C-alpha cells in the first residue's frame, strides 16, 4: 500500500513517517511507499533518502498536485497540512485556501479514485469556544472563536459527510496542543506551550504570553504519532455515524507545566520564563477547552501521556544531540 | 435602504417581501428597494409590479450575479435560497454549489462592500442528528446526517466567522420545518409535513412516508416571516459571540397533526391520508430533533405558533380563493 502524508515535511509528519517505516505495515498491509507532500522538503536526510519514501514539494491547494500523488494504491492519507491558528487569524484568505479549500480538494480527489481510502484528518481544540463546561463532552457544540477553528470545524463536517456517503473512509482526530515541540517558535497561538519548556532547557529565556492559571490540554509528539496510527487502524464499523474522536490529553495549567520543568530540570531552568501577556494570543487560547471527555477514544484503544514531567523527560531524551 | 432576498421567488421569499413592503421600514430605516433574486421570477404579479420591488433572475452561485445585486445601499440580505434536503442528498455537487459555495460567495461579496450589511441566513433542524436528547439544547453538538444538513452547518460556521471578524453583521436562524406550505410537494424530505394537511384540505389523497409517532418541529409560514424580520432587527450586541438562534416551534407527532386536521376539517378530510413508509425519507427525517430549547430566541423577542390547529386554520384563511 501507499500512504500520503500532507504536511509531510512538518515535525509530526516526519515523526509519523519514521514510525510507519519502523512498523513496516498499516491496517495489516505492508507499506510500499510513503509520500511526504509539503511546500518544503523534509529536513531529515535519513528519511528523504529512504528507499520507500518519496519526498514531494507541492501546493496542496492545487488539485493537480493532489492528483499526482494520490492513486489507486493510496490506501491511507494523513492530512496534517494546515495554516496554524495565529497565521490563519492574521491572513484569512490563506487560511481558507489551505485549511478549507485544499482539504475539500483532497476529499474530492480521494473520492474520485473510487476505492475509499482511509483519510485521517487532524483537527484541534480550536473547534470549541464560547462558554464551555470544565470538561468538554462528546456532544458539546462546536463554537470556534478563531478562523482556524472555524476552518477545522468545516473540514471535519466535510470529512464526515464524505464518509457517510461512502466516498472515503474518514476519521477526524481532534488533537490536544502538541507539547513539547522541538525547533523554533511558530505562528500558532499555542506556540508558547512548547517554547516555555524548550527554550529554558537550552538555557534561553522564553516569554509566556498567557496567565499562569491558564489551563491547556496537551499531548506529546510521541502520543500524537501513536494516536494517528491507531486512529487509522480503527475498524470502520466501530466509529458508527460519528467518525470524530477527541484524543486523550493532559489537562495542566501553565503553572503546573512550569512546576514540572522545575522538577525535571531544576530551579534555574524554570526561572528563565518571563510572563508578558499578549492579548491577541490570550484571546485565542482562552477560548479553547482545558480538558475534554475522552472515554470514546479510550474505548477504541487510544491512550495519551501519563504526566507532563515524563513528557519533558522524553523530549530531553529524543533531542539529545 | 435596499434589501436583497435570495430565493426571492420562493414561497417564503415572496411572503417576506410582502410583509416588508407592508411595514415600509426595517431596522428603523425606510425601505427603498427589495431585490428578489432567484432562478425564476416570482409568480405574484402584485409583487413584481410593485414600484419598490425588483425581480431578478440569476444564479447565485455566479459571483458576478451577486455583485450586480449587492451594493453599498444593500443594508439587509435575507439568504433563503437553497437546494432542499432530498435534492441535496440525491445531487451532491449541486447541493455543494448552491448551499455552500454560493453562500460563501454571498458572504464574500457582502464583505467586499465594506459596510457590514446584516445577513440573515436560514438554517435548519437538519444540522442536528445522531443520538439526540429529547429536547435539543443551545449547546448540543451539530451532527448532520445528510448533505443538506452538512452544508447548512458549514454555511453557519462561515457566517459566524465573517461576523466575528467584523466582515458582516450576520445572524443564523435555524428554522423548524415550515408547515403548512401552499402549492405542490417539493423535493424536501419534510415535504409530507405540509402535504398531509394541504392535499386532504383540497379533497385529494396524500401519502405520509413516515410513522405516525414521528415527532416533528414545526413553524407556520407567518411565524417564519415574523421571525426573519425580528431576527434581522435584533441588536448586534445582544447576540454576543453566538449569532445562531434556534427558532421557537411546535413539537407535534404526525398523529397529532392528523388529529388537528380532524378537529379543523372533520373526519372525512383526515381519512384522505395514506401511510406508506419511504425508507429514504424516514432515514433523513428521523435524524432531526423533534424539539429544541428556544429560551434564548424567546428572550430576544422571537415567538412561534400557539397550536397546530390554529396553524391549519390560518392556512385555510390565507389560501381562500
| DSSP code, position A225 | H
Mean pLDDT of all residues in B195-206: 97
Q: A170 vs chain B: nearest CA distance in angstroms?
A: 15
Any B CB within 8 A of A29 CB: no
Name the residue with higher pLDDT: B130 or B37. B37
In sequence order, which residues have a C-beta less than 8 Å from that of residue A299 and are 6 or more positions away?
A: none
Name the residue with higher pLDDT: B50 or B284. B50
Outline where DSSP puts E strands in A141-297: 169-175, 177-178, 206-208, 215-219, 244-246, 250-253, 273-275
Determine the Cα–Cα distance for residues B305 and B319; give it in Å rounded to an integer.
Answer: 18
Q: B189 vs chain A: nearest CA distance in angstroms?
A: 17
SS3 label, residue A224: helix
* CB A265, CB B166: distance < 8 Å: no
Q: Which residue of chain A has the CA closest to B158? A: A150
**Which residue in the set B150, B160, B241 is minimally distant from A157, CB to CB?**
B150
> Over chain B, what HEC string results?
CEEEEECCCCHHHHHHHHHHHHHCEECCEECCEEEEEECCCCCCHHHHCCCCEEEEECCCCCHHHHHHHCCCCEEEEEECCCCCHHHHHHCHHHHHHHHHHHHHHHHHHHHHHCCCCEEEEEEEHHHCCCCCCCCECCCECCCCCCHHHHHHHHHHHHHHHHHHCCCCEEEEEEECEECCCCCCCCCCCCCHHHHHHHHHHCCCCEEECCCCCCEEEEECHHHHHHHHHHHHHCCHHHHCCCCEEECCCEEEEHHHHHHHHHHHHCHHHHCCEEECCCHHHHHHHCCCCCCECCHHHHHCCCCCCCCHHHHHHHHHHHCCC
pLDDT score of A134: 86
**Percent of chain B at pLDDT exceeding 90:** 89
Among B126, B143, B244, most A C-beta atoms within 10 A, so best to mutate, is B143
Beta bridge partners of A29: A26
pLDDT score of B241: 85
Q: Residues A173, A179, A183, A184: is their CA dihedral positive or negative?
A: positive
Chain CA centroid to CA B256, Å: 23
Cis peptide before B252 (omega within 30 of 0): no
Any A CB within 8 A of B164 CB: yes
Q: A241 vs chain B: nearest CA distance in angstroms?
A: 7
Mean pLDDT of all residues in B311-315: 96
Which residues in chain B have Cβ-Cβ distances shorter than 8 Å to A153?
157
How does pLDDT run across A68-108, given as a tens digit for each residue? Answer: 999 999 999 999 999 998 999 999 999 999 999 999 999 99
Chain CA centroid to CA B139, Å: 21
Q: Which residues 285-304 of B have a C-beta within 8 angstroms of A?
A: none
pLDDT score of A288: 87
Any B CB within 8 A of A316 CB: no
A-B contacts at Cβ under 8 angstroms: 62
Which one, of A73, A70, A92, A74, lies nearest residue A83 by Cα?
A92
Beta bridge partners of B124: B175
pLDDT score of A283: 87
SS3 label, residue A60: coil
Mean pLDDT by 10 residues, chain A (321 residues): 97 97 97 98 94 97 97 98 94 98 98 96 93 87 95 98 98 96 90 96 96 95 97 95 94 96 97 95 88 94 94 94 66
Determine the Cα–Cα distance for residues B279 and B192; give it in Å rounded to an integer.
Answer: 14
And the C-alpha cell for B220? 407556520
Active site residues of B: 148
Spelled out in words, what is the top-level CATH class assigned to the domain B192-216+250-292+301-318? alpha beta
Q: Do A147 and B161 touch (CB under 8 A)?
A: yes
Any B CB within 8 A of A165 CB: yes
Domain edges within chain B: 2-176+220-246, 192-216+250-292+301-318
In sequence order, which residues have a C-beta less than 8 Å from that of residue B237 and are 6 or more positions away?
A: none
Any A CB within 8 A of B145 CB: yes
* CB A179, CB A311: distance < 8 Å: yes
Q: Residues A161, A164, A168, A172: is their CA dihedral positive or negative?
A: positive
Q: Which residue of chain B has the CA closest to A132? A: B139
pLDDT score of A206: 97
How does pLDDT run across B241-289, given as a tens digit for each residue? Answer: 889 999 999 999 999 999 999 999 999 999 999 999 999 999 888 888 8
Which residues in chain A have Cβ-Cβ distances shorter than 8 Å to B150?
157-158, 160-161
Q: Output the CATH code of domain A192-216+250-318.
A: 3.90.25.10
pLDDT score of B139: 84
Q: Do A140 and B139 touch (CB under 8 A)?
A: yes
* CB B246, CB B294: distance < 8 Å: yes
* CB A100, CB A94: distance < 8 Å: no
SS3 label, residue A172: strand
Domain A2-176+219-246, architecture per CATH? 3-Layer(aba) Sandwich (3.40)
Determine the Cα–Cα distance for residues B118 and B77; give it in Å rounded to an integer.
Answer: 6
* CB B156, CB B162: distance < 8 Å: no
Instruction: Please provide the size of chain A in residues.
Output: 321
**CATH for B2-176+220-246 (1.10.150.20, 3.40.50.720, 3.40.50.970, 3.20.20.105):** 3.40.50.720
Any A CB within 8 A of B158 CB: yes
Q: Which residue of chain B has the CA closest to A141? A: B141
Any A CB within 8 A of B153 CB: yes
Q: Do B143 and A92 touch (CB under 8 A)?
A: no
Which residues in chain B have Cβ-Cβ distances shorter than 8 Å to A157?
142, 144, 150, 153-154, 157
pLDDT score of B321: 66
Mean pLDDT of all residues in B183-205: 94
And the C-alpha cell for A3? 500512504
Active site residues of A: 148
pLDDT score of A321: 66
In sequence order, which residues have a C-beta less than 8 Å from that of residue A156 and are 6 or more positions away?
A: A121, A123, A127, A172, A244
Q: Do B130 and A157 touch (CB under 8 A)?
A: no
Which one, of A238, A247, A237, lies nearest residue A12 by Cα?
A247
And the C-alpha cell for B59? 444564479
Determine the Cα–Cα distance for residues A318 and A221; give it in Å rounded to an integer.
Answer: 10
Determine the Cα–Cα distance for residues A247 and A299; give it in Å rounded to an integer.
Answer: 11
And the C-alpha cell for A28? 495489516
Amino acid at each position: 500500500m501507499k500512504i500520503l502524508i500532507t504536511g509531510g515535511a512538518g515535525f509530526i509528519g516526519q515523526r509519523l513517517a519514521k514510525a510507519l517505516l519502523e512498523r513496516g505495515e498499516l491496517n495489516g498491509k505492508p507499506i510500499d511507499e510513503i509520500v511526504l507532500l509539503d511546500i518544503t522538503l523534509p529536513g531529515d536526510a535519513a528519511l528523504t533518502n529512504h528507499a520507500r519514501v518519496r519526498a514531494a514539494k507541492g501546493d496542496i491547494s492545487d488539485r493537480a498536485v493532489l492528483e499526482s500523488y494520490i492513486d489507486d494504491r493510496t490506501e491511507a492519507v494523513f492530512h496534517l497540512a494546515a495554516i496554524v491558528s495565529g497565521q490563519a487569524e492574521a491572513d484569512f484568505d490563506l487560511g481558507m485556501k489551505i485549511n478549507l479549500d485544499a482539504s475539500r480538494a483532497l476529499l474530492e480527489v480521494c473520492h474520485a479514485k473510487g476505492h475509499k481510502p482511509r483519510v485521517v484528518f487532524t483537527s484541534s481544540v480550536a473547534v470549541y469556544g464560547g462558554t464551555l463546561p470544565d470538561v468538554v463532552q462528546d456532544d458539546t457544540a462546536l463554537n470556534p472563536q478563531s478562523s482556524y477553528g472555524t476552518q477545522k470545524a468545516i473540514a471535519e463536517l466535510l470529512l464526515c459527510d464524505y464518509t457517510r456517503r461512502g466516498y472515503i473512509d474518514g476519521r477526524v482526530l481532534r488533537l490536544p496542543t502538541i507539547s513539547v515541540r522541538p525547533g523554533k517558535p511558530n505562528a500558532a497561538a499555542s506556540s508558547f506551550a512548547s517554547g516555555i519548556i524548550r527554550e529554558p532547557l537550552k538555557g534561553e529565556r522564553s516569554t509566556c504570553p498567557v496567565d499562569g492559571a491558564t489551563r491547556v490540554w496537551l499531548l506529546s509528539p510521541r502520543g500524537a504519532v501513536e494516536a494517528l496510527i491507531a486512529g487509522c487502524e480503527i475498524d470502520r464499523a466501530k466509529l458508527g455515524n460519528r467518525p470524530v474522536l477527541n484524543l486523550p490529553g493532559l489537562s495542566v495549567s501553565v503553572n503546573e507545566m512550569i512546576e514540572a520543568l522545575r522538577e525535571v530540570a531544576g530551579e534555574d531552568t524554570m526561572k528563565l520564563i518571563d510572563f508578558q501577556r499578549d492579548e491577541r494570543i490570550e484571546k485565542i487560547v482562552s477560548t479553547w477547552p482545558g480538558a475534554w471527555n475522552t472515554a470514546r477514544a479510550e474505548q477504541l484503544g487510544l491512550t495519551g501521556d501519563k504526566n507532563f514531567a515524563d513528557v519533558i523527560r522524553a523530549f530531553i531524551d529524543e533531542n539529545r544531540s
